[in-house]
A and B are shown apart, each in its own frame.
Chain A
């Protein structure tokens, strides 16, 4: 009954097949690659925070300590490394802020506030904060 050539098969109890997920499953689609890249840039956020703490800590220990940190930051390979870190941070921030409209659904006068407006508000707030910090840190030099 039925062409049962597979010795593992028991009549009326078919074996369901579940595929083995390939290790590089995330390379198969652009959407997955973007996602994994976004996730992989998260440690760089941690790094940036730690770097800031190192700078603040050095500042607390006095001018010579702070100068040593500044010297280290100025070295060629370190600058190159931090350019890469900056790129990762920007990528992470941009992808994160782009997702804001998904989580924030606002209704105004009966209609849904368009995604573009929510995104613009978030990027605008980012730009405003950066401008303010920039003025604080660089404007008073």
Chain B
């Protein structure tokens, strides 16, 4: 498996500390099939984690799992909870989330296969920073290559780290990777979300203060710990520093995982992957936001730019719809799939999501368009914010975005009183059970 390296190769002869801070790719181009020895030779030895919190604060790193929460605040919250536990001090736990529930995302597994030690380094650093004795990396049960890569990496490092590094294999499922579900799984063996508060930082795995960060976030912590915030900020924009991993798929010549500067133009990333004319671009995965071709041409991947279109880069998924597909049908497929991911715990999710999917399917087929549109809005509003986890919220967001962005297309269905020519065209969306093959570079 080769990795697309649109920005050229790193110069491996340079000592790690003096390596060009503006070079891309950064996270994913450590020596392929890396051994711990070659990894350490490449990146240099691991520091002790003592300066990590301060450097992370200065770096401006935000979580790369989707929510984009400032990582330094999470570290602070875990430290505060540990301090508040007083004499019966509850030692914190570090959890790296590599479950990658987003069907169209491949960046976490790519990272775990290509640079497992960078992720493990970040976990060791974070554990040292918050005083954790255990750090657990969680991956999905169906990721055989990822599990093999991590098992080998863990075997190589055995007893070299002060923290106990562990691997947990989580049952596959979209909501199983949600933060509270992961904590629930590690504490009690149930891979389903719980209500918050308490937040994992306050009371997580085994009731201990728990730092849960995405594996890409961990890999970034490994670099911030080694080279400091200033070096780390050498890539990306001032407001959105660092690099981000994008998984670009759909109507593109070279679908795959791309590492680009955070905050860079979406257009540039689409050009790298060879995107052609499109009916719409989904940014941020199935909790994400649809952009028209015109919007995609002028949007940046930074928070401020995407917020203008009501979106965020989320977990870095970018899907390009073919020009002649029906965007409403594609959206209905996703809505139906999301409705089947419910853990079945909360009424508004169990009832609301299938109702939303049904309304979207009516829109795709052009059946009673006005009423279906009213229903989709009504039920999205009704489900939003009323589950234990964010599945209803994410579904509502996705559906509202589809209705807004594809309003002109909706109008066509209304006038036709039926579907458009795009109905039934082959889907480019990744939905488990109907896999679309993804090439690497």
Q: Do A and B bind each other?
A: no
Interface residue ranges, A against B (CB under 8 Å): none
Interface residue ranges, B against A (CB under 8 Å): none
